[in-house]
Amino acid sequence: MKLALLATAVALMIGQQDSTTKTFTEQYLGIQFNYPKTWTIEKTTKPTLTTAPSKSKRKPRIDKSTTLFSIPIANSMQKAELEVVRTEYHASIDLWQTIQLRESELNRTQVVRQWEQDILGVPMLFCRIDSTTRGTQLTSIVGLFYTRTSLKLLLRMTAPSSQIDSVQYEFNKMLETLRYVDGTLPQEDDPSINLEPVAKKLQPVMATPKVIDAPPTGPKVPIKAPVATDLVVSTHKVVLRLPEGWSVANANGNTIELHSADVGSPVRLQAFSTLDSDPAGAALEKLAAKDLVDFGKVTSREDTASKVNAAGCSVAAVWRTGQANGGDLVTGEAYGSMGDLYFLIHYRQTDVSNYKAERKAIEQMLRQVSIEMAP
């Protein structure tokens, strides 16, 4: 009996780790992730200069905490690397992205793309940088976890450019396991909020104790947004739920317009059922392809992978920026799927000055929206 209880305890402590992965813990940030056992770790003692000056414009901090992963590449003698660093930064997203551009100019490298990816409800600020070292074309993916903390997680994955796709696939799988040891969820940073300065002597973040004999808590209960709107899909009445701050207009069967004070133009929404329509993913691709013809030039496209939001709705999106008819154009298409029901939303804007703020508002809505059959 004691051995059985011990085995159960060990299994609970391991959590998400399986037989093919190990767990890495950044103890002073309290962040963990799983990584393949084929990766090897080296602790570097050489100081690593961060690229994140604070608002006071003092020199960047020097951090000796870098952890370096060596990543084998299948069917190749070459290897990739992943650096895990703590860095001090508490300023805007725009400033961080500008820093990456300036650093690239100084280092004579090329910033190919900058984008944001939702991790635990907080943006990871990514930058793809191409460079050449001793005749080898290299690509680096740099990611800053934009949490409301003075010290932030900084990741830098570097691989031969010819192998970047396979390495980035493993990197993205690792990101899916990112979590906090105490079970909390992070908040997105806000430069207007004063944070505690970084202590000279850091203290490890302690994991939440696991109580083996505690009764099961049951599945996580979805959180329903408060604004409910009726729609009709294939003669069936359904309910769309939106967060506060959003309203609807021009309802017509399965089509409505969504309005928010934070978004300058209406967001069009259509609801469907997979029983008589395309699957949600295929429908999103068709909608994105339809919008593509309006672009004379696309400067960036960002696809966000399907993810279950707080209401239990799976959401994914496609964002594009570019030019059309001599002017700017940005579009956003997304789906939300629950069971046989799903919706498509369409955002379009020619005034790009507010694009980032409007996109953020739409993404926050997508974290809470849901669709379900009416009772």
**Nearest alpha-carbon partner for 205 in 233, 183, 227:** 183
One CATH from 2.60.40.10, 3.40.1000.10, 3.20.20.140, 2.60.40.1180 for 14-180: 3.40.1000.10
Give whole-number Cα distances, 172 to 141, 242, 288, in Å.
Answer: 11, 29, 23
The tens digit of pLDDT for each residue in 28-74 reads: 888 999 999 999 987 654 444 444 444 444 444 545 578 899 999 88
Q: Are 246 and 260 in contact (CB under 8 A)?
A: yes
Q: What percent of the chain has pLDDT over 90?
A: 44
Q: Please report the pLDDT score of residue 116 as a whole number.
A: 87
For residue 135 the two structure tokens come to 């005749």
**Residue pointed to by tokens 């793809």:** 128
**What does CATH list as the number for 227-373?**
3.40.1000
Average pLDDT of the chain?
83
The tens digit of pLDDT for each residue in 115-154 reads: 888 888 888 999 999 999 888 899 999 999 999 998 899 9
Task: Considering the chain, tell me which residue range(s) the CATH 3.40.1000.10 domain(s) occupy.
Answer: 14-180
Q: Please report the pLDDT score of residue 6 as a whole number.
A: 41
Q: Please report the pLDDT score of residue 159 as a whole number.
A: 92
Residue 232 or residue 220, greater confidence: 232
